[in-house]
Amino acid sequence: MIIIENFLNLKVLKNNKESILKNNVAYSKNFDKILFEIEESKYSLAITDLIEFIKEDKETLFYLSNNKCYLKLKNENISFDIQIEKIAIIKDNNKCILKYKLESDEEETTLEIEFF
């Protein structure tokens, strides 16, 4: 059962530059999983002992966990494994910050979610 709870603000910094800034995004929570959509992309973030972040649109699926990362091109049905250099999650009151650096990135990516 998915229950609509409240709203969140999302900020994504890629290579120290703001790439996404969205406020008042409706989200639902399914057990430990947070689900939301922005434009044509669906996002899922689960935080238990394992971090699991998924971003999916019509053409691609990006999957990131503590020990696995890949990008799938849906139309071609091809997946590419991506090496994770570091990954961390910070939970603080109404904020959740996911930081990760992939082998293909120049600098780390920060995904900051503020719940209200």
The tens-digit pLDDT sequence of the chain (116 residues) is 555 558 999 999 987 788 889 999 999 888 889 999 998 999 999 977 789 999 999 999 999 999 999 999 999 999 999 999 999 988 888 899 999 999 988 899 999 999 88
**Neighbour count for residue 8 (Cβ, 10 Å):** 21
**Residue ranges per structural domain of the chain:** 3-115
Tokens matching residue 31: 């057990």
C-alpha dist (Å) from residue 90 to 1, 4, 6, 27, 97 = 27, 23, 20, 19, 5
Q: Pairing between strand 69-73 and 84-92?
A: unpaired
Q: Are 31 and 37 in contact (CB under 8 A)?
A: no
Whole-model pTM: value is: 0.86
Which 3-state string (H, E, C) describes 46-102? EECCCEEEEEECCCEEEEEECCCEEEEECCCCEEEECCEEEEEEEEECCEEEEEEEE
Class of domain 3-115: mainly beta
